[in-house]
Amino acid sequence: MAETIALVGSETLLGREVGEVFAETALGQRLRLVAGAKEESGKLTEIGGSPVFLSKLEAEEVEDAGIVILAGTAESSKNALAAHPSGVVIDLTYIAEDDPEARVRAPQVEGEEHDAGLAGPQVVAHPAAIAIALVLKRLHEAFPVARAIVHIFEPASEWGTDGIEELQQQTVSLLSFQPLPKKIFGAQLSYALLAQLGPDAPVQLHEVEERIERHLASLLERMDGVPMPSLRLIQAPVFHGYSFSFWVEFEDAPAVSDLEDALNQDPIDVRAGDFEPPNNVGAAGQSGVSVGAISPDRNDGNAFWIWAAIDNLRIAADNAAMIAREAV
């Protein structure tokens, strides 16, 4: 059994979420918090209410760990991999994605019968890819899907603390008629929906969209005939949580109630009837996918609109924890 789980980048938004998820299980007792940034090492934090110091990212902090989780910056992930850890590597930063031995993973989608093997880096699939795969898998199992289109609304938190702070600063600057910071988004995101980021943004939306497509294609390949949907990624002026607008056409049209029954199994929560449809705020801190506002397409008798929301950090952390449980 693995003795230590080294969490590299434990000071980041994603790292803190992973720490909280692990603290709710016996895995939390094995967690070693390693700072991804040098200036964060030595600082006091907590796991499950107990105080813990952040270790400095050095070779000895990761090379002897039974499991190494990468949740920090690209630089910290590269440094952790350079230490040649002997244990299982769970990558939430996608830095190991191009490794020929890497496996794109999403245990919530794969099911218990899937045997991925733990020899190479375990790259946790993009949160949006996990959510889309979960919904389409559940639908297709009950009613064969002919085709689908998904609009994905991305939050600022997917860009870490820097993204959240820039959106907040843009909003304050707009209200006080000050110049807008644009280091992350390269454009005004506050009060705006963006189909693409500004030219100076360090990462462009199409790059993220392509990653979601790659990861989703990998997940759907393991299923029985679920068709690959068309995707469009949009940067939304929200701090946290993805939202999705699904358009799904079936070979034979089911009733709305039948779709709700097909979807309403863990880890999908269907908000039907008089319940308020899901939104990104309500999804905060929740595991799985919230689905609602299911309605027929008035112009296509076999198609339906479906709205969904997830906590992007939580769904990534949950899947990382599931892989870690496989390893121990």
Domains of the chain: 5-124+316-327 (3.40.50.720), 129-312 (3.30.360.10)
In whole angstroms, how far apart are CA 264 and each of 63, 160, 220? 42, 31, 20
Two structure tokens written together for 268: 């999908």
> Where are the alpha helices (H) located in 155-202, listed in sequence order?
160-175
In whole angstroms, how far apart are CA 210 and each of 99, 121, 137, 153, 217? 17, 20, 20, 15, 10
Lowest mean pLDDT among 1-5, 142-146, 160-164, 179-183: 1-5
Two structure tokens written together for 56: 């400095």
pLDDT at 47 over 70: no
Residue 196, phi-psi category: left (phi > 0), alpha (psi -120 to 50), beta (remainder)? beta
| Main-chain dihedrals φ then ψ at residue 170, nearest 5 degrees | -65, -40
pTM equals 0.93
Give pLDDT tens digits for 242-278. Answer: 999 999 999 998 999 999 999 999 899 999 878 899 9
Give pLDDT tens digits for 153-186. Answer: 999 999 999 999 999 999 999 999 999 999 999 9
CB 52 within 8 A of CB 33: yes
CA–CA separation, 70 and 317 (whole Å): 11
* Band of pLDDT at residue 46, cut at 50, 70 and 90: low
